[in-house]
Amino acid sequence: MALHRPPKPLLLVAAATGALLTGLLTGTGAAQAATSQACDIYAAGGTPCVAAHSTTRALYGSYTGSLYQVRRASDNATANIAPLSAGGVANAAAQDSFCAGTSCVITVIYDQSGRGNNLTQAPPGGFNGPAAGGYDNLANATAAPVTVGGHKAYGVFVAPGTGYRNNNTNGIATGDQPEGMYAIFDGTHYNGGCCFDYGNAERNSRDNGNGTMEAIYFGNIKVWGYGTGNGPWIMADLENGLFSGVNAGYNANDPSISHRFLTAVIKGEPNHWSIRGGNAQSGSLSTFYNGARPNVSGYNPMKKEGAIILGIGGDNSVGAAGTFYEGVMTSGYPSDATENSVQASVVAAGYSTSGSGTPGPAVGSTISLRATTACCTTRYISHSGATVSTQVVSSSSSATAKANASWIVRAGLGNGSCVSFESKNTAGSYLRHQNYQLYLHANDGSSLFAQDATFCPQAGQNGQGNSFMSNNYSSRYIRHYNNNVYIASNGGSNAFDSSTSYADDVSWVVTAPWTP
């Protein structure tokens, strides 16, 4: 695949001489440095980034190259998205205008380190992904809106089946070589599938045995390791094991941690590794493990292979969910002090959810959802028992018809950044999809139900109201078709995926409830 390689950042050149680098960082040299960003801090600490990935912002103060590439569905054209200024936040407006009236996926997450370690659609490995040829899905480019320093930006939304990888890297640690990693995730978006990872993995996308990976893991799968509480936890994926400390299974010092913006750190060197974490919006990092390699054979010495994965396990296990905003891998074992400075710079960058787009309906409110297609502007999402359809509702409708079209907005059962819709007149029952059709079912407490009943509000695709993305099928949105209600993709293989009037059919106006 031909990839555009972004220009080398100035500081990589500067890093060749320590004196020049020091001059840049202190502003005493000929060139006045921009704000010192994460990779400038790692370089100053003697552990430079060898991969730096972010769809939200530059991770070097001087970086002006492309951050990521999007591809739009209407004509398969691609566009690169760069920072607004050197060292700045992504130009999300450029994405919005390129993707207007169609949908976009993230095709490339460029490596800002200058080493060309870009992440692209992950190929099949020990497991196949759901896309053509066994590849993994690409992320919906508008699924994870945030602001950074007041500027709109988009993260990488990993629904199960989504994955990025680079099996042909340059400069990433192999064998028992030291490395460090940090990543910023949405701490409210996770699941118990294997494995939402960012970091070092096998170059052949297969399970090559204990110690052939070293990646940050985030989620609540308990198959291999876990900490206190019910999760989610930051753990190290070292292959055939997610480790929360020195022991396989339980380690008491690894807490459940779910900040909306979460800083997660894993680093490793010969017979030594560490787990750290904190709130990416405030405060400092805590250390949850710092000690010897696990007391299980195969992890000392390590046999790292140096590929890079995002959103999947080393063998291309594709069951996991999560959201990634930025992350880096270093050469050398970073000091805690260096990481603490990186954390301070992340906090200063100012991640936030406010102002990130058209707000969805307020959690706790009761609403109705009106169709916007010209045929159907008096129709609302309604249920009759388990059956869900759009129905004409008016002030003269029966009390039952009104209540059937009224919904209580709940925090998303499967993703705290999204919402679920509980029936006004059938407490404990929620809109959920099954075989891509919407039903009203009682919450059975399962992880699948939680995922199927969670929808992420975005701006309406026809410019009216909201569109609601399925949390676990992120190319699909709530859509009416022949007055039935589905999760539909634009131009997919089902009749209800028809491109005709798609943008109108997936756009819903949130109204006052027929039954308050």
Instruction: Find the binder of ligand AHR among 118, 147, 317, 467 (CB under 6 A).
Output: 317
Check if the beta carbon of residue 61 is closer than 8 Å to that of residue 11: yes
Q: How many CB atoms lie within 10 A of CB 516?
A: 10
Is 241 one of the binding residues for ligand AHR (CB under 6 A)?
yes
DSSP, collapsed to helix, strand or coil, labels residue 38 as helix
Place of tokens 């009390």: 399
Both structure tokens of 234: 């930051």
Shortest approach of ligand AHR to residue 207 CB, angstroms? 5
Residues 6 or more apart whose CB falls under 8 angstroms from that of 446 comprise none
Q: Is 94 helix (H, G, I), strand (E, B) or coil?
A: helix
Q: 165-204 mask for ligand AHR (x: CB under 6 A)?
A: -----------------------------xx---------
Q: Which stretch binds ligand AHR (CB under 6 A): 26-34, 102-110, 278-286, 307-315?
A: 307-315
Q: Which is nearer to ligand AHR, 84 or 478 (CB)?
A: 478
Q: How far is CA 193 from the centre of its chain?
A: 14
Distance set, CA 300 to CA 59, 275, 494 (Å): 32, 17, 51
Binding mask 391-430 for ligand AHR (x = CB under 6 A): ----------------------------------------
| Residue 454 binds to ligand AHR (criterion: CB under 6 A) | no
Minimum separation from the CB atom of position 50 to ligand AHR (A): 21
422 flagged as catalytic: no
Which of residues 83, 155, 161, 314 is near ligand AHR by CB under 6 A? Answer: 314
How far is residue 89's CA from residue 82's CA, in Å, rounded to a whole number?
8
Per CB under 6 A, does 434 bind ligand AHR? yes
Q: Are 9 and 62 in contact (CB under 8 A)?
A: yes
Interface region with ligand AHR, contact rule CB under 6 A, candidates 137-145, 253-261, 313-321, 417-425: 313-321
Rounded to the nearest whole angstrom, what is the least distance from the CB of residue 188 to ligand AHR in the complex? 20
Question: Could you confirm whether 239 is annotated as catalytic?
Answer: yes
CA 372 to chain centre: 30
Q: What DSSP string runs through 133-161?
A: GGPPBPEETTSSEEEETTEEEE-EEE-TT
Residue 339 in contact with ligand AHR, rule: CB under 6 A = no
Q: How far apart are CA 132 and CA 138, in angstroms?
A: 11
The reply on whether position 137 binds ligand AHR by CB under 6 A is no
**Tokens coding 467:** 């569109």
**φ and ψ of 118, to 5 deg:** -70, 150
**Considering the rule CB under 6 A, would residue 313 count as an interface residue with ligand AHR?**
yes
**Of 40, 239, 305, 452, which is the active-site residue?**
239
Which residues make up the interface to ligand AHR (CB under 6 A)?
194-195, 207, 224, 237, 239-242, 313-315, 317, 433-436, 448, 452, 472
Active site (catalytic) residues:
239, 315
